[in-house]
């Protein structure tokens, strides 16, 4: 009997890699989509990347509605919950992303319970772990860290990830499901895209390679290659030692300036790739007029360092270098014509 895995939001950047990894390992995959018209392209993407698609199927379900989730999870042995809103421009209302993220996660959890799934892996973010007052300089991100939800400077995305993950653990406690739960908290996810449809995190590399800005903000990111992240999701699904744990998923930390230098060295013909840094005060001023900059103002003056060695010890998943993830991201954007 081949185990079936439900992958929510399967058209997403990370979810596609998780689905590909699962299919390559012989699992059957059922992916949720909001619009069934996207399934043909996704099937072609999986097939073109070497997956056997006979075991790939789809179910229509939306995080904002109860409809479809019980049917989607039925007969699924494992659940990979990856769907969540991640806008590049932050909305004005700090709570506006919370209902979809929190209620959507709870809908998936209830469906997993009805299906009596053996384990559910929930994708959160280190955004739920690293923000709060007084956190400046080098900040270590550890398993038991939480962003301070009362801190008024949290962005809507940071609020949504924190509240959604808190709700997940509260549900697990109330339903005696902690031993069937694993939460993965990735840093900035880079690496190769599988097709032209890229995620918000990859737009960072896209904009840099297009020379959209003459200089970069003075911010640092803990980076994880999407291929390693997909491996971790699959390992977390069956590894007994990680039940009930939060897994910090990131390796090295790079500044945007360092990322720019990596890209300029790899793509020397693209002379407009920025690497010089803007002053922090200017970024804050610009964020008043450019809401896409709101998402990084809390990162100014902070150097996050992921304390993730325990994840490698528990799962065996090792992290590619951050530079390799940056280079792979750039090459895949060129390959699929995203830069055109």
Report whether 102 contacts 142 (CB < 8 A). Answer: no
Dihedral sign from CA coordinates of 256, 258, 264, 266: negative
Cα–Cα dist 20/195, whole Å: 12
Annotate 181-214 with b (16+ C-beta within 10 A) or e (fewer). Answer: bbbbbbbbbbbbbbbebbbbbbbbbbebbeeebe
Q: What angle do CA 82, 87, 90 make, to 5 degrees?
A: 135
Cα–Cα dist 44/233, whole Å: 23
Task: Say which of 161, 197, 272, 294 is annotated catalytic.
Answer: 161
* Cβ neighbour number for residue 40 with a 10 Å cutoff: 10
Shortest CA distance to 167 belongs to which of 106, 213, 214? Answer: 106
DSSP-derived secondary structure letter, 72: H
Active site residue 178: no
Cα–Cα dist 233/85, whole Å: 19
Beta-carbon contacts of 176 under 8 Å, excluding residues fewer than 6 positions away, are: none
Rounded to an integer, what is the distance from CA 46 to the centroid of its chain?
19
Report whether 52 contacts 72 (CB < 8 A). Answer: no
Q: List active site positions.
A: 161
């Amino acid at each position: 009997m081949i185990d079936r895995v439900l992958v929510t939001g399967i058209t997403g950047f990370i979810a596609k890699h998780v689905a590909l990894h699962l299919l390559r390992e012989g699992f059957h995959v059922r992916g949720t989509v909001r619009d069934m018209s996207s399934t043909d392209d996704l099937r072609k993407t999986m097939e073109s990347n070497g997956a056997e698609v006979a075991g790939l199927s789809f179910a229509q379900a939306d995080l904002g509605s109860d409809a479809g989730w019980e049917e989607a999870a039925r007969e699924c042995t494992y659940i990979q919950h990856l769907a969540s809103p991640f806008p590049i421009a932050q909305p004005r209302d700090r709570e506006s992303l919370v209902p979809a993220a929190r209620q959507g996660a709870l809908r998936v959890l209830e469906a997993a319970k009805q299906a009596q799934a053996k384990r559910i892996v929930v994708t959160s973010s280190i955004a739920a772990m690293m923000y709060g007052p007084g956190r400046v300089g080098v900040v270590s991100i550890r398993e038991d860290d939480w962003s301070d939800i009362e801190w008024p400077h949290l962005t809507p995305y940071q609020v949504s990830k924190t509240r959604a993950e808190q709700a997940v653990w509260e549900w697990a406690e109330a339903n005696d499901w902690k031993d069937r739960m694993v939460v993965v908290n990735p840093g900035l996810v880079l690496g190769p895209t599988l097709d032209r449809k890229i995620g918000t995190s990859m737009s960072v590399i896209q904009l840099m390679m297009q020379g959209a800005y003459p200089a970069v903000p003075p911010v640092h990111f803990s980076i994880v290659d999407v291929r390693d992240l997909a491996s971790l999701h699959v390992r977390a699904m069956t590894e007994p030692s990680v039940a009930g744990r939060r897994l910090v998923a990131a390796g090295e930390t790079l500044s945007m300036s360092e990322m720019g230098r990596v890209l300029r060295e790899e793509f020397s013909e693209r002379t407009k790739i920025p690497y010089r840094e803007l002053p922090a005060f200017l970024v804050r001023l610009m964020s008043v007029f450019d809401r896409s900059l709101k998402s990084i103002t809390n990162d100014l003056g902070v150097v996050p360092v992921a304390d993730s060695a325990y994840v490698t010890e528990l799962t065996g998943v090792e992290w590619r270098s951050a530079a390799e993830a940056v280079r792979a991201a750039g090459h895949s954007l060129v390959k699929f014509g995203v830069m055109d």
